[in-house]
Chain A
Amino acid sequence: MIPAAFEYYRPKDLAGVLSILEEHGDDARVMAGGHSLIPMMKLRMAEVPHLIDLQDVDGLHGIDISNGQIRLGAMVTQAEIIDHEGLAAVAPILREAALQIADPQVRYMGTIGGNVANGDPGNDMPGLMQCVNATFHLIGPEGERSVPARAFYEAAYMTAREDEEVLTAVTLPVPDGGYAYEKQKRKIGDYATAAAAVQIVKEDGVCKAASIAMTNLSDTPVFSEDACAALLGTALDDAAVKAAVTAMLGDIDPSEDNRGPVAFKKHVAGVILRRAIERAWSRA
């Protein structure tokens, strides 16, 4: 498996990245950890005549937590997310989810930016970022702009990011309440058969806030407002959880693949979501 030939760039700053993108348009692509893109290039399913490696670009690294906000540079790896004690203290759902992505070697290379930006419905971070209501920061020839994660995904591999834009960072408010990232997969290294990200705030035994998103059950991640609403104000009795699950099942649209047919995926989605809600509630 040998990729087609390409030119390689390793700019030091975003201006350098943008000028290459501008010059080569569709023929150029940025690469973070490369663990989605390189296999596709090796299989010659992605042709990238101009490859821009972001590893040296200033300002794309680092985890910052201040004033109730978390900022993850686009080049922050899954391993860094897992190892960051401060992050685990304020947003433990990130570690719980990152540990369920791929395997140790891939987590050393795979980045948050790459995971959210490429639009692969199998990736875990997009759904998680919708759950925690993250914002994606883009920079392009027209300057900087932000897009909420919940408005970023249009279809498989189609996102709000323009071709000449680069995703530079992900920010999110420090999540509140109990959390759970529940994922069913066939083995380590697999994408989810179904995965659910849940954050729930409990006050006096009542659900004050809920945020629910699921992964790999549609051509985009699925944030379900109706599912969240079904839990609000309830004590998460069986009827409320059932209503949330029913709402989510109305929003997902899984397709058949080697993991199984649609009926199975829908059923498992419901089971996984229920478990995630119950675990999050138990931690709330």
Chain B
Amino acid sequence: MSKKMHIKLNVNGKDEEFLAEPRELLIYTLRERLNITGPHIGCETSHCGACTVTINGKSVKSCTMFAAQADGAEITTIEGIGTPDALHPLQEAFKEHHGLQCGYCTPGMITRATKLLEENPNPTEEEIRFGMAGNICRCTGYQNIVKSIQAAAAEMNAAKEAAE
């Protein structure tokens, strides 16, 4: 066993400090150490995206990053995206447009989609399909996921316009 490291993270706005083996993968830090179980484990080889979180503004597959690499980082998971009383428009849209079935891919999917809409607030269907291609869903066939993201984009753009 190697020596433990002192790691600091800010997860969903909360500072966390702990000692961990260097080989601790970030997904396990989140799920098992911090009890943030929204991000899931699907493939473990960075293909499925169920473990997607946002780290310092980037969409990242947390199964393929050591917690040590994230030392000092700001991390947002699905738990930090909306609250029960104020859901994120993407969370509303996925509910409204049947963008999920078993729910297992959903946290990673929505977390990735928040970033996609930052990168491109007005994506075409093709851009959504390309921009979401790092997240696999086995249930929905993606059609309603695309629809949900389009609806959320429209909603967010309308809200932005109204605010201006």
| Minimal beta-carbon separation of A52 from chain B (angstroms) | 11
The count of chain B contact residues (Cβ–Cβ below 8 Å) is 30
Q: How many Å from the CB of A115 to the closest CB on chain B?
A: 14
> Is A42 in contact with chain B by the CB < 8 A criterion?
yes
Q: Are A39 and B134 in contact, CB atoms less than 8 angstroms apart?
A: no
Please report the C-alpha to C-alpha distance between residue A10 and residue B70 in the assembled complex, in whole angstroms: 11
- Known contacts A8-B66, A38-B66, A55-B69: does B58 contact A106 (CB below 8 Å)? no
Query: Please, which residue of chain B has its CB at the minimum distance from the CB of A7?
Result: B2
Rounded to whole Å, the gap between the CB of A78 and the closest CB of chain B is 11
A35 in contact with B22 (CB, 8 Å): no
With A7-B2, A34-B65 given, is the CB distance from A103 to B49 under 8 Å?
A: yes
The residue among A7, A34, A42, A104 with the most chain B CB atoms within 10 A of its own CB is A104
Contact assessment for A34 and B64 in the assembled complex, using a CB-CB cutoff below 8 Å: yes
Residue B131 is within 8 A (CB to CB) of chain A in the complex: yes
Q: Are A5 and B58 in contact (CB under 8 A)?
A: no
In residues 29-87 of chain B, which contact A (Cβ within 8 Å)? 44-47, 49, 52, 58-61, 64-66, 68-69, 71
What per-residue 1/0 map shows which CB atoms of B1-34 lie under 8 Å from chain A?
1110100000000000000011101000000000
Give the total of A residues in contact with B, Cβ under 8 Å. 28
| Contact A7 B22, CB 8 Å, known A104-B116, A188-B134 | yes
Contact A5 B21 (CB under 8 A): yes
Instruction: Please indicate the chain A residues that have their CB under 8 angstroms from the CB of B49 in the complex.
Output: 103, 105
In the bound assembly, the distance between CA atoms of A105 and B44 in angstroms comes to 14
Q: CB distance B59 to A7 under 8 Å? A: no
Contacts of A151 in B (CB 8 A): none
Chain A interface residues (CB < 8 Å from chain B) = 1-8, 10, 34-35, 38-39, 42-43, 51, 53, 55, 79, 102-106, 108-109, 188-189
Residue positions of B touching A, CB distance < 8 A? 1-3, 5, 21-23, 25, 44-47, 49, 52, 58-61, 64-66, 68-69, 71, 112, 116, 131-134
Task: Give 26 pairs: A residue, B residue, CB < 8 Å, sorted on A.
Answer: A1-B44, A4-B23, A5-B22, A6-B22, A7-B2, A8-B22, A8-B68, A34-B64, A34-B66, A34-B69, A38-B46, A42-B44, A42-B45, A51-B22, A55-B69, A79-B58, A103-B134, A104-B134, A105-B46, A105-B52, A105-B61, A106-B61, A108-B58, A109-B58, A109-B60, A109-B65
